[in-house]
Chains A and B, each alone.
Chain A
Amino acid sequence: MFKYFIPVLFLLIFIYGVIKKVKPYDAFTSGAKSAIPFTVSIFPYLASIFVLTELFEISGLSNALTNLLSPFFNFLGIPDELIKLVLIKPFSGSGALAIVSDIYTKFGVDSYLSRCASVIYGSSETVFYIAAVYFAKSKKHNLLKPIIISLIASFFSCVFACFICNIL
C-alpha cells in the first residue's frame, strides 16, 4: 500500500503540471538547480553536529552518561540495551540506525527489544541536527527552551514505546 504512495504522488503532480501548462522539464531543472548551493550552505552545520557526535562517543561521555542514567531509565521501563539508542537519537540518525540494526542482529528482529528499538527510532527525531540545520541561516533565536521541550517530549515517547510494545 505504502509503496504506491510516492509514485502516485509524483504522477499526479506531473499530470497536474501538464494540465496547468507548466513546462515540466524547465520547471524541474529550475528547482533542482538550487539543491547544490542549498546543501553547501548547510554543510558546516552538519559537520559541527557530526564532530560533536564523534567526540561524545569516543571520549566515553556517552558510555558514562548511559551508566549514570541507567537506574532512572530502568525505573521508567527502558531496558539497559536501549538506553544508548535513546541518548544517541537526538544527535545522529545514522548513529541511531546503526544501534538499531545491532539490536536486530543480537536479539532477533521480532523480539521485544527490537520492536521497541524500532518504535523509539521511528517516533523520535534528531533534535540537535534539526536545530543546527533549520537555523543555519538565522542566528537570532535562543533555542534552549524549544530544544529542552523537544527532548522531554521525545523522551516521553521512548518511555511510551517500551510500554506499548509490551502490550501490542
Chain B
Amino acid sequence: MNIIFGLIVILSITILIFVNPESVLSAFISGGQKAFDLSIKLVVIYTVWLGVFSIMEQTGLDKKIAKLLKPVNKLLFGNLPDSANEYMSLNISANILGMSGGTTPFGIKSIEELDKYPNTEYAVCMFFILNATSVQLIPSSILALRSQMGSLYSSSVILPTILATLLSSIIGILLCKIFIKRR
C-alpha cells in the first residue's frame, strides 16, 4: 500500500502543480469529506450487523455455520485455528449472500485471528483474494439502481454477474495456488 499510495500521490501532485495548483488541497479535503460521509453510513450498517451477529454468537449459531463450512475452508486455506475459521466462515457466507457492510467486521477479525498464529501467510493471502474477487449471488445495489432507472429487465444481469464473479474467484484461487507458497 505504501508504494502505491506514495507513487500515485507524488505523481498526481507533480502534475497538478503545473496544471491546477489550487486543486491539490481541495482534493485532499474532498477525499476526507467523502470518507467521512461514507463512515456515517457505515457506522449505521455496522451497528445493525454487529447487533444481529452478537445474537448469533450468544446462541452458538456462528459455530454451527463454521462447522458447516470447515471442509471447504480446509480445502482453500489449509488447516485453520478454530477461532479464525469461525470469523472467516461468517465473512464468506456474508459475501455470498451479498450483505455488503456485513462482511467487513468479520473480515478484519479473521485477519487479526490469523495473525496470532504462525505460518498463516498463505491463508491470509487466499482470504484476501477471495474477498477481493467476491463470490456474490445477489448484486443488490445494481438491481436497485436498475429498477429505479426504469429497466424492464432489471434481473437480466443476475446470471451474467454470477458467472463473471465465479470466474474471477476461480482465476484468483488458481493464481494464488500457483504464485503464493504454502508453508
**Is the beta-carbon distance between A54 and B1 smaller than 8 angstroms?**
no
**Is the beta-carbon distance between B60 and A20 smaller than 8 angstroms?**
yes
- Interfacial chain A residues near B36, Cβ < 8 Å: 43, 47
**Is the beta-carbon distance between A2 and B140 smaller than 8 angstroms?**
yes
In which size bucket is the chain A interface?
35 or more
**Is the beta-carbon distance between A150 and B133 smaller than 8 angstroms?**
yes
Question: Residues of A at under 8 Å CB distance from B?
Answer: 2, 5-6, 10, 13-14, 16-17, 20, 22, 24, 27-32, 34-36, 38-39, 42-43, 46-56, 58-61, 94, 97, 100-101, 104-105, 109-110, 115, 118-125, 127-128, 130-138, 140-141, 143-147, 149-150, 152-154, 156-158, 160-161, 164-165, 168
With both beta carbons as reference points, the residue of chain B lying nearest to A122 in the complex is identified as B139
- Residue from A105, A110, A121 within 8 A of B153 (CB atoms): A110
Docked CA distance A161–B161 (Å): 7
Q: Report whether over half of chain A's contact residues are helix, strand or loop; otherwise say mixed.
A: helix
Q: Report whether over half of chain B's contact residues are helix, strand or loop; otherwise say mixed.
A: helix
**Is the beta-carbon distance between A145 and B133 smaller than 8 angstroms?**
no
- Residue from A32, A130, A138, A161 within 8 A of B164 (CB atoms): A161
Given the known inter-chain contacts A145-B179, A146-B129, please indicate yes or no for A31 contacting B15, CB distance below 8 A: no
**Is the beta-carbon distance between A136 and B108 smaller than 8 angstroms?**
yes
Chain B 49-69 against A: per-residue CB contact (8 Å), 1 yes, 0 no? 011111111111100000000
List CB contacts (< 8 Å) of B124-183 with chain A. Answer: 124-125, 128-129, 131-134, 136, 138-143, 145-146, 149-154, 156-157, 159-161, 163-165, 167-169, 171-172, 175-176, 179-180
**Is the beta-carbon distance between A154 and B132 smaller than 8 angstroms?**
yes
- Interfacial chain B residues near A136, Cβ < 8 Å: 108
With both beta carbons as reference points, the residue of chain B lying nearest to A47 in the complex is identified as B35
A-B contact pairs, 24 of them (CB 8 A): A16-B61, A17-B55, A20-B58, A22-B59, A27-B51, A31-B54, A34-B50, A38-B108, A39-B46, A46-B35, A47-B31, A47-B35, A55-B16, A118-B157, A119-B157, A120-B164, A122-B139, A143-B1, A145-B179, A150-B132, A152-B171, A158-B164, A164-B160, A164-B164
Given the known inter-chain contacts A20-B59, A56-B12, A110-B153, please indicate yes or no for A32 contacting B132, CB distance below 8 A: no
**Is the beta-carbon distance between A61 and B54 smaller than 8 angstroms?**
no
Docked CA distance A24–B39 (Å): 27
**Is the beta-carbon distance between B58 and A22 smaller than 8 angstroms?**
yes
**Is the beta-carbon distance between B145 and A104 smaller than 8 angstroms?**
yes
**Is the beta-carbon distance between B164 and A50 smaller than 8 angstroms?**
no
